[in-house]
């Protein structure tokens, strides 16, 4: 062997020794040094821990109709290292799961990921299409999906269930711990396809399904309220509105309709989260002349006025500091009784009542009726409203007098309904509620009506009911309900802005609140129309809707007329 061949042999031998050493090092490194880490990763991959959602309880209306329920669905995931062709897989899945192919491919090729969820809550039909593709590394796991069979029906009352399967807004949020159940846990040994090995080591803690809620909401009344509200908003070219119907004897809410609304099945399509808010309990407004019902109740109960008390309903009242507070449209009513104060909706007459009461008795009574505090309804997000008492920054002598006719005071629609219902039922404030039963297996929890306190004497309530029945008779024929005596009061409230009250078209809130039949009151109804453009006045913008809701209510519950249809008084009416 010559010298050249010997050198080549030594070089090859050295290279072989270096290569063998490198390989040996890698083997030792993986097997010894990194062995525990890699084994832990493999173990974690084989033994995957999954949270198994509980079946959420159904939500039913008072008639047993399903308003919210769970339906079968699947979650599609990928075992990243088992996906043979990320590009092709992404192209095939994209049209089925509602994500772009680029987004899916990026998820499948993201470094360091072993398991990735691609989409959740797939319908069974979509799952079947994915399963038929037989894509390597693509796994389908069952998970429930929340469904609302009636679309946007009572959506702000119900709320919705988010991607984490937690209740968001409405009853879904308020009763999440009750209706949501307790999730289970599955720790299972998986094969390469991600399926649990039947004979492998595993542990299983089953979920506990949630309870069923039965609401006081009557779907027939709710549908009536929503359809009348939608039609009125369209006719008045209004921004929105609210209708609430409550059983005055118990505080049970039969309908709570808000517009605009949303479809909880498509909550991700909502761009403005304000649509999720239940404005019946979470938004305030100045009630305007509907608040004169409360003012008159306090005056009658304190004995400072009677229905026959006469006051001078001049155009305005001048305060000691020279401030003048006027009647609407600068109307002059002359001498008027307290009943006529309500019929005329006289601001000056209402100011006379609070003047005789004095601030302490007036505000004590306002708070006794539940204003300035939560009503206690079993809905989330309730606000307390605004009542400024003497000594607070928001109070002045001017606001004292304007509070008499519902200006400078802020209430929620539900607060007003609860307060007026107390007059209807003989003077007792009831706590409003919307869940009447919780059914948890064999255990049924029934909500009993709860008396909060007496706010006025029964005699006062009867007297005021007769006065408000005369007010209702004074309205135009299309507003009245022939054959029935209904107690009601309209309101036309201005909307405060940063520089005083707004002016111009669509700058009012038009409303009517009332109850009946007067002989044996069953229902209190509030119709509130926000920023109507057809007419700014409560009687014209909200009155026909109020009458329609009451007419249909009386028919639905089979309440017979209390007087002949042709005995109703003749035309009255105001703007």
What does the block give as tokens for 463?
């007297």
| Three-state secondary structure of 493-522 | EECEEECEECCCCCCEEEEEEEEECCCCCC
349 neighbors 336 (Cβ within 8 angstroms): yes
- Orientation of helix 359-368 relative to helix 347-357, angle to 10°: 100
CATH code, 344: 3.40.710.10
Alpha helices in 237-285 (DSSP H): 279-282
Residue 389 lies in a domain: yes
Taking the model in full, what pTM does it have?
A: 0.85
Alpha helices in 261-391 (DSSP H): 279-282, 292-302, 338-344, 347-357, 359-368
483 neighbors 563 (Cβ within 8 angstroms): yes
Residues 6 or more apart whose Cβ sits within 8 Å of residue 369? 294, 297, 419, 422, 429, 455
Q: Kind and range of the H or E element at 457? A: none
The β-bridge partners of 436 are none
User: What is the per-residue pLDDT for 197?
Assistant: 52
* Neighbour tally for 194: CB within 10 Å: 18
Residue 139 lies in a domain: no
Look up the domain containing 468 and give its range: 219-433+443-567
User: What is the per-residue pLDDT for 183?
Assistant: 77
What does the block give as tokens for 382?
């309730």
User: What is the per-residue pLDDT for 7?
Assistant: 58
Q: How high is the mean pLDDT in each 10-residue block of the chain (575 residues)?
A: 56 52 47 48 54 85 97 90 91 92 90 86 90 92 90 97 92 96 69 50 72 98 98 98 98 98 95 96 97 98 98 93 93 96 97 97 98 97 97 95 97 98 98 97 95 98 98 87 95 90 93 97 98 96 97 96 60 40
Residue 366 lies in a domain: yes
| Three-state secondary structure of 129-166 | HHHHHCCCCEEEEEEEEEECCCCCCCHHHHCEECCCCC
94 neighbors 250 (Cβ within 8 angstroms): no
Distance CA 379, CA 225 (A): 19
The answer to whether the Cα torsion of 367, 369, 373, 376 is positive or negative is positive
> For 263-272, what is each residue's pLDDT tens digit?
999 999 999 9
Say whether 245 sits in a helix, a strand or coil.
strand
Domain count, the chain: 1
Distance CA 256, CA 557 (A): 18
User: What is the per-residue pLDDT for 51?
Assistant: 66
Residue 182 lies in a domain: no
Residue 183 lies in a domain: no
Residues 6 or more apart whose Cβ sits within 8 Å of residue 401? 317, 319, 325, 351, 354, 355
137 neighbors 88 (Cβ within 8 angstroms): no
User: What is the per-residue pLDDT for 208?
Assistant: 85
174 neighbors 380 (Cβ within 8 angstroms): yes
Distance CA 119, CA 135 (A): 15
What does the block give as tokens for 510?
């038009």
User: What is the per-residue pLDDT for 27?
Assistant: 45
Residue 555 lies in a domain: yes
User: What is the per-residue pLDDT for 6?
Assistant: 58
Residue 169 lies in a domain: no
φ, ψ dihedrals at 397, nearest 5°? -60, -35
- Which of 46, 68, 56 lies closest to 183 in space, CA to CA? 56
What does the block give as tokens for 354?
């609070």
What does the block give as tokens for 256?
């709570």
Does the N-terminal peptide bond of residue 517 adopt cis geometry, omega within 30 degrees of 0? yes
Residue 456 lies in a domain: yes
């Amino acid at each position: 062997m010559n010298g050249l061949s010997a050198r080549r042999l030594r070089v090859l031998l050295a290279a072989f020794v270096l290569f063998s050493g490198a390989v040996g090092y890698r083997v030792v490194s993986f097997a010894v040094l990194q062995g525990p880490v890699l084994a832990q990763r493999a173990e974690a991959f084989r033994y995957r821990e999954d949270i198994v959602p509980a079946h959420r309880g159904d939500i039913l209306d008072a008639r047993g109709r399903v308003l919210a329920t769970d339906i079968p669905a699947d979650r599609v995931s990928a075992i990243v290292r088992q996906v043979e062709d990320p590009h092709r897989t992404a192209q095939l899945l994209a049209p089925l799961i509602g994500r772009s192919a680029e987004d899916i491919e990026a998820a499948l090729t993201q470094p360091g990921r072993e398991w990735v969820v691609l989409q959740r809550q797939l319908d069974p039909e979509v799952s079947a299409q994915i399963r038929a593709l037989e894509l390597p590394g693509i796994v389908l796991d069952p998970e429930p999906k929340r469904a609302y069979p009636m679309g946007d029906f009572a959506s702000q009352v119900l709320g919705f269930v988010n991607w984490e399967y937690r209740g968001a807004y409405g009853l879904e949020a308020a009763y999440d711990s009750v209706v949501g159940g307790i999730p289970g846990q599955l720790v299972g040994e998986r094969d390469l396809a991600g399926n649990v090995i039947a004979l492998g080591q595993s542990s299983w803690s089953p979920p506990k399904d949630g309870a069923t809620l039965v609401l006081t909401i009557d779907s027939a009344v709710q549908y009536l309220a929503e359809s009348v509200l939608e039609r009125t908003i369209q006719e008045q070219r209004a921004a929105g509105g609210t209708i609430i119907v409550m059983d005055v004897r118990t505080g049970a809410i039969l309908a709570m309709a808000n517009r605009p609304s949303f479809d909880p099945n498509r909550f991700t399509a909502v761009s403005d989260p304000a649509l999720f808010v239940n404005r019946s309990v979470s938004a305030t407004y100045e009630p305007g002349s509907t608040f004169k019902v409360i003012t008159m109740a306090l005056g009658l109960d304190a004995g400072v006025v009677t229905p026959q008390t006469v006051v001078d309903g001049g155009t305005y009242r001048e305060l000691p500091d020279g401030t003048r507070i006027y009647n609407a449209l600068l109307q002059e009513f002359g001498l008027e009784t307290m009943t006529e104060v309500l019929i005329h909706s006289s601001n000056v007459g209402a100011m006379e009542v609070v003047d005789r009461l004095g601030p302490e008795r007036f505000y004590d009574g306002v708070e006794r009726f539940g204003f300035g505090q939560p009503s206690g309804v079993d809905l989330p997000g309730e606000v307390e409203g605004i009542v400024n008492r003497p000594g607070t920054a928001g109070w002045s002598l001017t606001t004292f007098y304007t509070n008499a006719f519902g200006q400078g005071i802020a209430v929620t629609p539900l607060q007003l309904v609860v307060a007026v219902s107390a007059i209807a039922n003989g003077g007792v404030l009831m706590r409003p509620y919307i869940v009447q039963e919780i059914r948890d297996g064999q255990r049924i929890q029934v909500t009993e009506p709860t008396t909060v306190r007496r706010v006025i004497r029964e005699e006062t309530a009867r007297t005021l009911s007769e006065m408000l029945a005369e007010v209702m008779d004074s309205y135009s024929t299309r507003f009245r309900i022939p054959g029935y005596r209904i107690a009601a009061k309209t309101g036309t409230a201005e909307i405060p802005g940063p520089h005083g009250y707004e002016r111009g078209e669509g700058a009012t809130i038009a409303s009517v609140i009332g109850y009946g039949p007067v002989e044996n009151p069953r229902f209190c109804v509030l119709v509130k129309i926000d920023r109507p453009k057809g007419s700014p006045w409560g009687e014209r913008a909200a009155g026909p809707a109020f009458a329609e809701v009451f007419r249909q209510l009386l028919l639905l519950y089979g309440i017979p007329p209390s007087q002949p249809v042709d005995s109703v008084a003749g035309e009255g009416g105001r703007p």
